[in-house]
Structure 1
Amino acid sequence: MMFAVRMDVEIPHDLDPEIRADLVAREKTYCQERQESGEWVHIWRCVGQYANISVFDVADNEALHQVLWQLPLFPYMRIAVTPLAPHPSDLTANRGAP
């Protein structure tokens, strides 16, 4: 199943800088591991914001839930999930169709 996920990060300004740096480094590693696994298909930065819009390809809702809950920055995020389905006007989805 494909999902579009918007993640807005709100790390408290008074969080210890070492803890912040560790969280951000672990988040980057986790994100890249999920990309290598094929679950995290795309990630785009929202310009001028500490936010991203990502596309995930996972087995089901529960699989996405597990991926998101394991994000090191999860406690500092607002997350909006939109399930995706193929669009009938998508040229790549309809190649070979009569």
Structure 2
Amino acid sequence: MLYLVHMTVSIPDNLPTAEADRIKAEEKAYSQNLQKSGKWPHLWRVVGEYANYSVFDVESNDELHDLLSKLPLFKFMKISVTPLAKHPSSIR
């Protein structure tokens, strides 16, 4: 199942820089592992924002929720999810 996921990150100003840097490093490693596994095939930055649009390819709603909730930055994110279906006019 494919999902379009929009994530907006808002790290509190009072979070110590060292802690924020540690969490971001964990986030990068976790997201790159998911990309390598094929579960996160697309990751696009939103210009001018601390946000992204991503496509996830997972087996179920529950798997997507599990993967997203394990993101180290999850508690600092606003996330919206749109399930995707093949378009009848698509040539792919």
Establish whether TM, by shorter chain, passes 0.5.
yes
Question: Which residue in the other structure is 2:10 paired with?
Answer: 10
Unaligned runs of 5+ in 2: none
Q: Which residue of 2 aligns with 1:95?
A: none
In structure 1, the partner of 2:79 is 79
Equivalent pairs, count: 92
Q: Secondary structure at the match of 2:80?
A: strand
Highest Rg: 1 or 2? 1
Cα distance in 1 for partners of 2:76, 2:60 equals: 24
Q: Secondary structure of 2:41's partner?
A: strand
Q: TM-score, normalised by structure 2?
A: 0.99
Q: Provide the alpha-carbon RMSD of the alignment.
A: 0.4
Structure 1, gaps ≥5 residues long: 93-98
Taking only the aligned residue pairs, the percentage that are identical comes to 51
Which residue is 1:67 aligned to? Answer: 67
After TM superposition, the structure 1 = structure 2 runs for residues 1-98 of structure 1, keeping only pairs within 5 Å, are 1-92=1-92
Tell me the amino acid that sits aligned with residue 14 of structure 1: N
